[in-house]
Amino acid sequence: MKPQVNIAVVVDVIGALSAGTLLDGNLTLVDDGSFQSTGQGTPELCTVVAPGQVIQWSALAVDLQTPVDIRSITFLGAGHGAEPDPEDFTEEGEKLDLDVWTGVVPPYMTPGVLYRYRLELQMYEGPHSVLHIDSPALMCI
């Protein structure tokens, strides 16, 4: 098992801003975890993790000239077991060109349960510059 799982959030910022309110079709997620994550390359990525593992999310724009930052990651409720504490997953470091969010998988996550999270992205400023998607998830082994 790797001590850290990296999740890349790849965004077509121009496509997302042109669509106005949708990230769907303009976002893909991939991870490099040791376990069999599902939904690789889609917005429905379910990253399989183990207690104590570090998770690091990074936002990348398809067009490197257009900025995208992770504004927040919020767990939505699994319906079973305890939800990860939002303080377990926080923004790391100073405001850079690339926001990186890092957290540690807490030991109280129920194995086999999907923990969906809202991934909120900031692209430029103005109307529709903050978009979110609720389809990615973590699942503890």
Residues recorded for the chain? 141
User: pTM for the whole thing?
Assistant: 0.86
Q: Give 98-124 as a DSSP string.
A: S-EEEEE--TTSPBT-EEEEEEEEE-S
User: Is the pLDDT reported for residue 50 higher than 70?
Assistant: yes
User: Is the pLDDT reported for residue 16 higher than 70?
Assistant: yes
The pLDDT tens digits for 94-125 are: 444 457 899 999 999 999 999 999 999 999 88
Q: What mean pLDDT is predicted for residues 1-24?
A: 90
Apex 16 CA angle, 45 and 70, nearest 5: 60
Alpha helices in the chain (DSSP H): 13-19
The pLDDT tens digits for 61-86 are: 998 888 899 999 999 875 444 456 65
Bridge partner residues of 58 (DSSP): 8, 100
Taking the domains of the chain in order of start, what are their residue ranges? 4-140
pLDDT at 11: 95
User: To the nearest whole number, what is the mean pLDDT of the chain?
Assistant: 86
Q: Which CATH number fits domain 4-140: 3.50.30.30, 2.60.40.3910, 1.20.120.1770, 3.40.50.2000?
A: 2.60.40.3910
